[in-house]
Amino acid sequence: MKMPRQRRSAPGPAPEGMVPMHQRDYTSRPAASSNPVATAASTPRFAGGTAQPNTPSPLSGPKVTEDHRTARPTRNPLSRAEDGGGDRRGADRAADELVANQSQNGAASSSKPAALGPGAKQPTFPALFAAAWAAQGGELPACDPDLGVGPCELCGYHGIRVAWRPKSNWTAYDTHAYPGEGAVCLGCALLLDGGPEVNERGRARRWTLYTLATDGDSQCGWALKDDKPRIARWIEDGWSVSVADGGKKHVAYMAPVAVPGRVVCAIDGEPVDVARDDWQHLRAVVNDAYAAGVPKRSLEVGRLAHADIRRLGLTRAREVETELAPWRGTSVLRLGVWLATREEADS
């Protein structure tokens, strides 16, 4: 049975202060401040009860996790300001003036590399290496007096500088500490030109072919990639080390400075930061598996192939994979596997 349609009643009067829907004007948009959602989305965060619209968000910088084993920064750590983002040149103008005053008054700090001039910031790897190079009798490039004291475009060290422009094949602009500065410190200038040794033809081997190391004081060293036991000793001794595997690009300016009690270095510009005990344990696991015949490609990915499982036995293979699992995909495991040699594994 079909029910009869009920007629809609006329709308009653709208409550006081409310405009009926059929009488509202939808052609004009309300002000942004009248929309609480839009206001919350557009209003900057508050710090100490005061709005700071020019303060960069902490999310604007490179992502860093709390676990040092999974933190994989892709930029030079000095390429962002200490407060989380933005160009540091304006923020560091006062620091530059302070350095210039120190230079004029001869008040250079004894904790900075004297050969590179006074520095307002913590010395970088190139600065420390060049200071040790000069202490061992090496020659440093001549500085440009017209540039004065300032930041290095590549590593960020504040000191006397040399004019520099990247070549046409340079692509690592995102790793510069001060993009467009047009000058580099004496340490970076040293490592960008020539090399420490000559080849059979009498030509200098480029610095990019060498792993570089310094104790942060008066000693420095360099080694080709086939001298891995020597490189491993530098790391074990707590030196600042820039490991060169590729050998084609300049990566030393991205290497961090050593930290007491930790293994802090870099491989091809990728930072390595791990507790010393964890590093020694990982090295022992990698060396034992490598001595047993497990290839480096399996160790670096942290997963063993069927042939590796047969070689080690099921129980031991599971133990190795469990030990390597926390380090999969990290520069820590990459460096540990890269350093493994048959001679060291056998010993």
For 195-220, what is each residue's pLDDT tens digit? 998 888 888 889 999 999 999 989 99
Residue at which a domain ends, from 268, 291, 325:
268
Q: Which pair of tokens denotes residue 117? A: 């001039």
Residue at which a domain ends, from 240, 268, 296:
268
Same domain for 199 and 233, yes or no, is: yes
- Give dist(CA 130, CA 187) in Å, integer: 5
Same domain for 111 and 250, yes or no, is: yes
The answer to the question of residue 214 being in a domain is yes
**Type of residue found at 219:** Q
For 120-164, what is each residue's pLDDT tens digit? 457 899 999 999 999 999 999 998 888 889 999 999 999 999 999
Q: Which pair of tokens denotes residue 3? A: 């029910």
Same domain for 247 and 305, yes or no, is: no
Same domain for 301 and 230, yes or no, is: no
Give the range of the structural domain holding residue 199, as residue numbers without chain letter: 77-268
Per-residue pLDDT of the chain (347 residues; tens, 9 = 90+): 555 565 555 555 555 555 555 555 544 444 444 443 333 333 333 333 333 333 333 323 333 333 433 333 333 433 333 333 334 443 344 334 433 443 443 333 334 455 555 544 578 999 999 999 999 999 999 988 888 899 999 999 999 999 999 988 898 999 999 999 999 999 999 999 989 988 888 888 899 999 999 999 899 999 999 999 999 999 999 999 999 999 888 999 999 999 999 999 999 999 999 999 999 999 999 999 999 999 999 999 999 999 999 999 999 999 999 999 999 999 999 999 999 987 654 44
Same domain for 91 and 209, yes or no, is: yes
- Give the pLDDT of residue 51: 35
Same domain for 164 and 208, yes or no, is: yes
The answer to the question of residue 41 being in a domain is no
Same domain for 138 and 208, yes or no, is: yes
Question: What is the DSSP code string of 236-272?
Answer: HTT-EEEE-SS-SS--GGGPPPP-TTEEEEEETTEEE
Same domain for 87 and 178, yes or no, is: yes
Q: Which pair of tokens denotes residue 149? A: 């004291």
Domain count along the chain: 2
Percent of the chain residues past pLDDT 70, beyond the cut: 64
The answer to the question of residue 179 being in a domain is yes
Same domain for 126 and 90, yes or no, is: yes
Contact 186, 161 (CB under 8 A): yes
Same domain for 181 and 317, yes or no, is: no
Same domain for 235 and 105, yes or no, is: yes
Same domain for 173 and 261, yes or no, is: yes
Taking Cα atoms as reference points, which of 194, 195, 193, 238 lies closest to residue 219? 238
The answer to the question of residue 8 being in a domain is no
The answer to the question of residue 197 being in a domain is yes
Number of neighbouring beta carbons within 10 Å of residue 33? 10
Contact 69, 274 (CB under 8 A): yes
Contact 307, 297 (CB under 8 A): no
- Give dist(CA 345, CA 337) in Å, integer: 11
Beta strands in 65-214 (DSSP E): 149-151, 158-163, 183-185, 211-214
